[in-house]
Amino acid sequence: MMSPESSGGSQTAPRFESLLIVRLSAMGDVIHSLPAVAALRRALPDITLGWLIEERWAELLCTLRYPRSGPRSPQRPLIDRVHSVNTTEWRREPFSFNSWQQMAVGLSQLRGIQYDAVIDFQGAVRSALLARWSGAPVIFGSAQPRENAASMLYTRKALTDDNIHVVEQAFALARSIVPTLSNHSDLTFPVDPDAEKKIATLFPEINNSANKFAILNPGAGWGAKCWPAERYGEVAKELAKDGITSLINYGPGEDDLAFAVESASGGAAKRITCSISELIALTRRASIFIGGDTGPLHLAAALKIPVVAIFGPTNPARNGPFGTPSIVLRSATSVTDHTRHSGPELGLLEITVSEVVAATRKLLNRNSNHNSKQWSDGHLARPADGDARRPTKTNLVSEEPPDATTPRTEHE
């Protein structure tokens, strides 16, 4: 729950004609903010909506060759203006002329729009500073942001519950603008004709709806979240017995990881590296997604693709797949810990190949027999009584997706 606050004491959000979204990164976090922004778009159809985002994630909002502003279309379905920054490069080369030139041009263009209001979904000092730089007179943000100092830069502060799912947190913050906003919203990602054509050409067999295929995603933000690559290969072998092709998605710096999966699969899995637009096109066609807590998993969930989520040190009640048929596997020995260890978390290693395969087959069978809209609330691991960091089952969480009419009760 939240209660909007302003320096003037008013409890009613002002009316305005333009709104800037600030959510810079990373992939999964941007995707977690999208449902709330889509709901704002539906509630305020005539407003000019802008988004400030890191350049590397801008394809989540607009295809590469399409103009970043102007009338909305399938190539930019949600946002009227996309503003990009490259803070990673700026921090790496803070004194270079190119960095200063990029900052000056980009930030001047942002300020020149003269947005009426900003809502900062990131809750970091850098995102709050950029929100301030926009020149908007009203800045919405959490009263308890990720970085406490950020709250000093907001003019309207909303009380949010850090224990609920991050998608629900974004909806809660959005209600500081539209108090009656619903927690449900259909998402539309950009459609890139070039990416669609490339994926169709590379793998013509996956365009036949009768041919099922799985996306395996062995990588993650840090090593503690990564289930062993060899086990993904073994999963691919088992799925091949069911006539299911496995494609290994991997990103920059994950070549060795992808090769290890492919080698362990004995030819049952093929590597594919994608741009974001290509990954969207590929994921739309997938029968199921298998992977850990990482951006591509949250993309699959947002696209309503069934997900087998393999969790270790992060809490699935807060960060798990949302809004899609899914099964979360997490050892009872796993403890929530965001320390960026390089090796797999020990509880993650307790999850076996047979358990992942069984969960995959279960979801595929369910998805064949039921309308996925019945599971629109998704599925998250439920914590055990007495220890908010652990699921109820002795070894693994492998529950059915809850009925859509059942209230959500998952909390860390």
**Is 80 exceeded by the pLDDT of residue 258?**
yes
pLDDT in tens, 53-91: 999 999 999 999 999 999 999 999 999 999 999 877 666
Side chain identity, residue 182: S
pTM of the complete model: 0.86
pLDDT in tens, 304-333: 999 999 999 999 999 999 999 999 999 999
| Residue labelled with tokens 């929100």 | 131
Q: What's residue 89's pLDDT?
A: 65
* CB contact burial 130-155 (16+ within 10 A = b; e otherwise): bbeebebebbbbbbebeeeebbebbb
What distances in angstroms separate CA 225 from CA 108, 236, 303, 340, 349, one per listed residue? 39, 20, 22, 9, 10
Give long-range contacts, CB 8 A cutoff, 24+ apart: 362-369: 362/327, 362/398, 363/288, 363/306, 363/307, 363/308, 363/325, 363/326, 363/327, 364/212, 364/244, 364/287, 364/288, 364/306, 366/306, 366/325, 367/287, 367/288, 367/306, 367/325
Write down the mean pLDDT value for the chain: 85
**Is 90 exceeded by the pLDDT of residue 92?**
no
For a pLDDT cut of 70, what percent of the chain falls above it?
82
d(CA 401, CA 358): 15
Q: What is the mean pLDDT of residues 93-120?
A: 79
**Is 60 exceeded by the pLDDT of residue 292?**
yes
**Is 50 exceeded by the pLDDT of residue 200?**
yes
Q: Which residues contact 17 (CB under 8 A, 6 or more apart)?
A: 46, 47, 48, 116
d(CA 241, CA 114): 58
Residue 43, preceding peptide bond in cis (omega within 30° of 0):
no
Q: What is the mean pLDDT of residues 40-63?
A: 96
Q: Kindly report the backbone phi and psi dihedral angles of residue 329, in degrees, each rounded to the nearest multiple of 5, phi listed first.
A: -110, 125
Reported as type and span, the H/E element at residue 217 is strand 213-217
